Amino acid sequence: MVDNADVKTAIRRWWADFPMTYGEEHGNTEYAGQGGVEAVELGSREFFENADATFYRWNMPLHGPEGPFSRLFDYPRYRGARVLEVGCGMGCMAMNWARQGAEVAAVDINPVAVAQTRNRFSIFGLSGDIREADGETLPFESESFDFVYSWGVLHHTPGTKAAIEELRRVLKPGGGVGVMLYNRESLLYRFLVGWQEGFVNMERRWLKEVELASRYADGDRREGNPHTWPVTKREIREELFQQYQGVDIRVLGTDVPNVLNIWGPELGTKRLPLPRIKALARRWGWSLWITGKRST
């Protein structure tokens, strides 16, 4: 029986060893450029620019005239307000909030993420309160933030529900929440992980479902991702976000064209008509963007 504390130690260690660099391989600092693949130094300005370029490219449809991710985040509304990110990784999102004039706090469970987010803020001349902390037990007063968000994090912690409850605790009444969680009902999970790896390659014989999910999520095949448990829309509505008001779930399917390409060459990027791909992406995407608010 694995103890919760042991799982947390493993999570902290694994993400520190393989941080969210958006490199050619999970955790490395090599990026493809015009001159081929080049390694850059972790923590250099060049590193942050490369990591951001990849992260932004993966999420192209979410950017708008107000800046990166402005189709998700209402930056003008929270100018001067207190905003918290849980699981900030290399600070790719927190930086935009600081640039847009929010009073930013950001936490991550792994020390490399915290050191690098602080480093980023210093390189780009921004200020923020960046701390090492577990999203399941936040070091902040109740009702102290206007907006809280988390991107691709809370399915990696065993207490997903506790962390979502913690976000609500630190929100001011009427404050807003935005959380991205992986989707267990996605093309990627149902067919690539469940069908291909679990059934055809018979991995379910040796692995429990959560172990299978962890193995083929972030760090795919690198082995050792300690915990990843994607969620369903039903779980979001009936279990995880029950205490929030006005909950809305949007499926983000930027991964779908690439998943389709695994079935047939250029199936998702050239051969299927765009409206069909968009429809598939809206139904079968790997990411769920959940928004809501704390009741007043």
Q: Which positions lie near ligand SAM, rule CB under 6 A? A: 11, 15, 20, 86-89, 92, 107-110, 113, 134-136, 151-153, 156-157, 218
Q: Indicate the residue among 139 and 264 with the shorter CB distance to ligand SAM.
A: 139
DSSP β-bridge partners for residue 49: none
**Cβ 17 to ligand SAM, closest distance in Å?**
10
CB of 276 to ligand SAM, least distance (A): 29
Shortest CB 12 distance to ligand SAM, Å: 7
Q: Which residues pair with residue 132 across a beta bridge?
A: 108
Residue with smaller CB distance to ligand SAM, 86 or 277? 86
Taking the complex as a whole, the smallest distance from the CB of residue 86 to ligand SAM amounts, in Å, to: 6
Minimum distance from CB of 88 to ligand SAM (Å)?
6
Question: Closest distance between ligand SAM and the C-beta of residue 270, in Å?
Answer: 29
Catalogue the long-range contacts made by 186-192 (C-beta closer than 8 Å, 24 or more residues apart): 186/230, 186/255, 186/284, 186/285, 186/286, 187/255, 187/256, 187/259, 187/260, 187/280, 187/284, 187/285, 187/286, 188/255, 188/259, 188/286, 189/213, 189/230, 189/286, 190/284, 191/259, 192/216, 192/259, 192/262
Query: Which residue lies nearer to ligand SAM by CB, 120 or 280?
Result: 120
Residue at token pair 């602080």: 118
Closest CA to 63 of 92, 32, 102, 83: 92
Question: Between 26 and 204, whose beta carbon lies closer to ligand SAM?
Answer: 26
Minimum CB distance to ligand SAM, residue 200 (Å): 27
Please state, in angstroms and rounded to a whole number, the distance separating the CA atoms of residues 84 and 171. 9
Contact 7, 227 (CB under 8 A): yes
Residue whose beta carbon is closest to ligand SAM: 89
Nearer to ligand SAM by Cβ, of 204 and 250: the residue is 250
- In the bound state with ligand SAM, the residue whose beta carbon lies nearer, of 100 and 110, is 110
Angle at 271 between CA 269 and CA 274, to 5 degrees: 65
Residue with Cβ nearer ligand SAM (107 or 187): 107
Contact 93, 99 (CB under 8 A): no
215: burial class by Cβ within 10 Å (0-12, 13-18, 19+)? buried
